[in-house]
Amino acid sequence: MLLGLLQEIQERHPHKYLPLEVLDYLAAKTGIPRARIYSVATFYALFNLKPQGEHTICICRGTACHTRGSRQLLERLKTQLGLQADEEEGSADKLSVTTPDRRFTVRTVACFGQCALAPVVEVNHAILGHVNERTLEREVEAVRKGGRR
């Protein structure tokens, strides 16, 4: 039941995250201890405790993707979006950072399970395979202009 509630709350929030005050409210209304709610929200990668961007770009950092250039894709994407090192939260292997204008959130995952398509990038929940820097740049620009995805 708790997973469904958290998913629904996050999906309905305009910035697609779970504010701490909402977790407190949920605990009070359901009788589930706040610590348990927080532990579930932090255990599952699909939940966000910070505001997310309008668009999400997720880069795979698994072994196959890494050996085929996902680190370079990540660095190029951060440059393209104007993200500074001091704005980052986490390392390249576990990153979640949102642009100041909240248009884009860049995340990394351990593996998408699509190793044959490496390097893999997800743009607004659409999986793209065999991505190179130019392809990713075009995808981001299309999203910026309100086009695809």
**Per-residue pLDDT, 84:** 72
Main-chain dihedrals φ then ψ at residue 31, nearest 5 degrees? 80, 5
Please say whether the beta carbons of 143 and 55 come within 8 A: yes
* Higher-pLDDT residue of 96, 132: 132
Which tens digit of pLDDT belongs to each residue from 3-47? 999 999 999 999 999 999 999 999 999 999 999 999 999 988 789
Contact (CB, 8 A) for 139 and 149: yes
Show me where the domains of the chain are located. 2-43, 55-144
End-to-end CA distance of the chain: 31
Alpha helices (runs of H) in 13-132, residue ranges in sequence order: 20-30, 34-43, 63-67, 70-80
Instruction: Please state, as a whole number, how many other Cβ atoms lie within 10 Å of the Cβ of residue 103.
Output: 13
Fold for 55-144, please state it. Answer: Glutaredoxin (3.40.30)
Kindly report, residue by residue over 72-105, the tens digit of the pLDDT: 999 999 999 999 755 455 555 568 899 999 999 9
Q: Determine the pLDDT at residue 91.
A: 53
